[in-house]
Structure 1
């Protein structure tokens, strides 16, 4: 067991967790909403420190992060547990593991060993992903500190519900994040995830205030978040509150987990979302999970030159020099080596 950070004593032996925006009050012998932070005799512990349930070398495009070392590899890890209850979770077997009442599972993998394996695999970064990295904050933080010393970048693939204080503690070591923005109506957000829209919007702005590179993903689900008002609202929020240079990934939904009654997303819906993004002034809108010949390429905002050509998750051509377009010299926003 590893003592958790960001909690306070409550009444009796209860504790108040301050890690995510749910701010659970946890009685003795119980866990928070995430299922992996447990009150033992009035002290909050994380039950997943050093326990990796998944370990994989992925193209960074799979995160998806298209403006961070394109074409590089990212060493990806996760623990069990999540603070959201997404009806369409693609990794529900591990994210919702604690709900089964089973003890935490995973390979014993120290932060130092993660960094060693990442370097051995030729990765440029470590991605904290698959479930929700916020809920294994201590493990991710300690790994990120060692990764930064070793010259590796740190990436969060997150639902965007961390509180400001822990984000501030992590920010010096966190280079980039892809944050899901799952809808643009609070009632839809609560039905899909159990969380509030405003909490995610505030967290996104917090990431940007810390200077962390952000890309936003919206899984477009027919009948839930595919109406014009929501798609336009997301596009305008990104452009006005985060910046026109922030990439927006609009991806297709396929029925999964508890959301089997919605059909797959038509390609035309994603193209409509892309049009709304461009209308709002976004410079980079990408479509994913569907066949779209132009959906994964990166174009220069200055001259329109195709700067990064992708096939699926793989970069097949790059026309950048020092992060700038070779044709007109316009700098492409993002993190490049």
Structure 2
């Protein structure tokens, strides 16, 4: 398979509309989408980050973080460039906020990457994690590679912000075994600051959790999403899907464009963990 896009183009007054996420960027010929990873080229919307690898590392599965999916395993983590949100605290902003001219990359085919994953089996590798930047903005490469990884009897993991149309998720689900999805907060006001919306992410989580192993991560940013009432509402909603869905409550450290405040207090993270634990069976802290 190639990097052919999922849905056929939508033409509006000479523009083509990208189908991947709710931004639905309408692009003139040669124009890039907001994510920097998709472009109109020869009258099609294509993935320009297809096979352009910026990051490659063998990681413990717990680093994704996935605590309840083959614990103790290693996984080959792969990233490209681009993202459809604009989080001012992004720890991988060098690649997530970059286009193909902004960051070094090495091209690799799905066949080569699947073979590399299998070669690392002797190091305890269980498969591939699509991570570091937002994998959904280049979902074609994820789909094509993950299918080959499955054919080799290995697993696929995706670490995502969940800000995508469900049609994209449905295309990927046959090949993905587990996800860690960022639930960045639980108000639409906060999501608007990041360039997204809460309802899209909730729908994505609800669909994924029906059939697959899903864990969630909420980064607690002081003054933004650290309210006890907000965490209680979030935990109640997760429990309404399945109280056994693991939640990772993680500590913020200043970086990228958010250096106007200090790290989250450890006691705040623990307090919010305890609130979530009232409703959920598996709540973990991170960066503490």
With structure 1 as the length reference, what TM-score do the two structures score? 0.81
- CA shift at 1:154, angstroms? 0.7
Stretches of 4+ moved more than 6 A in 1?
A: none
* SS of residue matched to 1:160: coil
Q: Which has the higher helix share?
A: 2
What's the CA shift string for 1:119-145, capped at 9, x where partnerless? Answer: 222210210000001011011100000
Q: Which runs of 5+ in 2 are unaligned?
A: none
The aligned counterpart of 2:216 is 216
Once residues 7 and 35 of structure 2 are traced to their aligned partners in structure 1, the CA distance between those partners, rounded to angstroms, is 15
The aligned counterpart of 2:12 is 11
Matched, 1:149 2:168: no
Q: Which runs of 5+ in 1 are unaligned?
A: 291-337
Q: How many residues align?
A: 284
The aligned counterpart of 1:278 is 277
Whose radius of gyration is greater, 1 or 2?
Answer: 1
* SS of residue matched to 1:97: coil
Once residues 6 and 134 of structure 1 are traced to their aligned partners in structure 2, the CA distance between those partners, rounded to angstroms, is 14
The aligned counterpart of 2:196 is 195
* SS of residue matched to 1:202: helix
Aligned 1:21-40 pairs, distance under 5 A: 21-40=22-41
User: Could you say if the C-alpha distance between residues 250 and 272 of structure 1 is closer, same or farther in structure 2, counting changes exceeding 3 Å?
Assistant: same
The aligned counterpart of 2:258 is 259
User: Could you say if the C-alpha distance between residues 41 and 116 of structure 1 is closer, same or farther in structure 2, counting changes exceeding 3 Å?
Assistant: closer
Once residues 105 and 21 of structure 2 are traced to their aligned partners in structure 1, the CA distance between those partners, rounded to angstroms, is 23
Once residues 233 and 140 of structure 2 are traced to their aligned partners in structure 1, the CA distance between those partners, rounded to angstroms, is 34
The aligned counterpart of 1:129 is 131
Asked if the contact 1:7/1:19 (under 8 Å) is kept, the reply is: no
What's the CA shift string for 1:155-175, capped at 9, x where partnerless? Answer: 110001121112111111111
